[in-house]
Structure 1
Amino acid sequence: LDIVNVALNMYIQGVSPGLDFSNIDAIRATVEYCNQLPVHPRHPYVGDLVYTSFSGSHQDAIKKAFAARKEGDIWDMPYLPIDPKDLGRSYDSVIRVNSQSGKGGIAYLMETEHGVVMPRRLQVEFSGVVQKHTDTHGGEVSADDIWNLFAGSYLDIASPIRYREHHLFEHGEAQGIRLAVDIDGQPCVLTGEGNGPINAAVHAMQTAGFNFSVRSYEERSMVPMGEDGNARACAMVEVATKGGGDLYGIGIDSNIVTASIKALISGVNRLGAASRVAQAA
């Protein structure tokens, strides 16, 4: 008779078994030591993977339920009959990502581990990046692996444009910008005007021959704080070329305007050659 299994079956039905399982891993370690046998990863309540979901549809359901749940609510989660914290477990292993996972699990890890809340279209786009990686390399990807893929796809692209700095100024009723960048390794200063900093930056890059438009724009505060203790902003800009596809650019900075400009440059760099038109001689 598995006392742990029987007792916790009672517990999830609202009947207290009168036993303390608040550190279930210590109990498992004792059992493994005494029996000299490992506990199966999917053993009810105790196994390493018993609270883990790899399925995309399961992850979507769990993510939505966590988002809707308020502190103090009665535990009622899909695919999780018991709160792992009641047994001394964390939520870190609830959602893990492999080739079978969908956008929901990836978005959940990006939000809970790195503070990036992605809009739905960005979730779809980035899940394709992760899917390609898992199809190529196989196995499971950690939250840190996902962040590295995110940074490599959106944050670390510095060609053909590399951001250096910018200065804003007023020109009548318009907002002006002087944008210092490197284009193909050559330093230059672009100037543009618009009805705000973002519009002015778009105009400045268009004058340099980058032909694109902004389809959507979102900005979010990132939680947790940055390593220096300061809040950071994440800007997400969806850009497109005429007749071409849409792509997201991402910028992260302590200043929201700087984050937005970095996001524009990220998007243009990701569009690549499709965004650039020949300059008139």
Structure 2
Amino acid sequence: MTVQVYDTTLRDGAQQEGLNLSVADKLAIAVHLDNLGVGFIEGGWPGANPKDTEFFSRAAAGELTLNHAVLAAFGSTRRAGGEAASDPLVQALLDAQTPVVCLVAKSHSGHVERALKTTTEENLAMVRDTVSFLHGSGRRVFVDCEHFFDGYALDRDYALAVVRTAAEAGAEVVVLCDTNGGMLPTQVSEAVADVVEQTGANLGIHAHNDTGCAVANSMAAIAAGAMHVQGTVNGYGERTGNADLLTVVANLQLKRGYDLVEPARLAQSLHLAHAISEITNIAPHGRQPYVGHSAFAHKAGLHASALRVDPDLYQHIDPTLVGNSMRTLVSDMAGRASIELKGKELGYDLTGQPELLARMVSKVKERENQGWTYDAADASFELLLRDEVVGEPLSYFQVESWRVISESGQEGGTSEATVKLQAAGRRVIATGEGNGPVNALDHALREALASAYPELEKLELVDFRVRILDASHGTDAVTRVLINTRNDQRTWTTIGVAPNIVQASWVALLDSFAYGLLKAGVEPR
């Protein structure tokens, strides 16, 4: 059986708190969705939202070219007591010039009477009239039965009547919506199976994640006979979000054998998830199934020992199928196998070097006991491993001293840092100003090293995280700092641990610069 994949990131996903998409953002995301290979992209609600109206206008004018997906416009059935042919919002759906129109219709008798303030008979007429009009106007019509599962539990006969009415009027697919997100998989599968048997309609599923079951409910609906699934990339949506379409597609294709998207497109899942995260400005979720940074990360030493023999022993799929990769995390739980696997991942063959592995295990565990955490700082671990393998520390420069002065005034505070170091055979003293001590140290260090290492111009600090260890010690507690840095090729994380935040930041900053130069292929000079 074929399953239609319908994305509603641009409409339902955009209802997420803190997510605000411009028209340009929506056009860019639509291209990414098309590249994934989804069948339908819901662009928004023309007529009800000026931004969405502009999106469809610009798409129709040629600013959006879709090679695979079909664009859909979302709207509602006509107003109570009116006619579809003269309803301005229905006309706006035609003006959007999309091949597909998706209508939201009430299927919960309580919502019909209390929210729409009309009769159940008039609601059926609204569904019939609107679907017939749009179908007769040459549009493919899908109907989203809002609050279907709650309505089905309250008044099964009426919920079924809405489905029959939509299908008989020409709806290609009738989508059962768990609008409140309160259903569990068994409830969904039982209801879908009953609706299939009673109506014979082509059914779809639209699940929200309020019970944490949106993906499971989508899978249950498909297993029970639905042939159309709706969701959003990265699970975006109001409250707790919608079914994550990337997870649903991967589950159906890799676990159930459905041929939904080309394998090469599925292998772009991680790239697409992160690309859309950049547009929405919402950080990727590290533990997101399939495409999360931690989805195939292994920390325990027992896992690493088995993974060294066969990666499939602790992985449910080959991560490359979704564009991800296996990662070994190094921590105080690490054994020799973890270090060996991590070394291989970083390009160091440690096979047959038990003494080096033993030293690294001992060093990692000792440092983690002091507050370091290498599972979150791969770059610092690689520098540590590299020094052990080579036999001497990597040294691009030698710091004599550094200091920071912070002051506050009527217009706010500033910091000034001074760094004294040796680089490229000469002594350098440099000063930098910033809006904080770490920012000032970053500027001073760049100024000191600019002539010796111009490659540092490409480095950009993008994240800075602080954790106070042993907080019961108050201001005397140990501080851990993680710094994320990127250049035009990669992003990396370094760590510093020290008695105070400035000193810990300095340690992480030095590692960040050294790692950036190492990966740029720069030789110490």
Give the structure-1-normalised TM-score: 0.46
Higher helix share: 2
Q: Over alpha carbons, which structure has the higher Rg?
A: 2
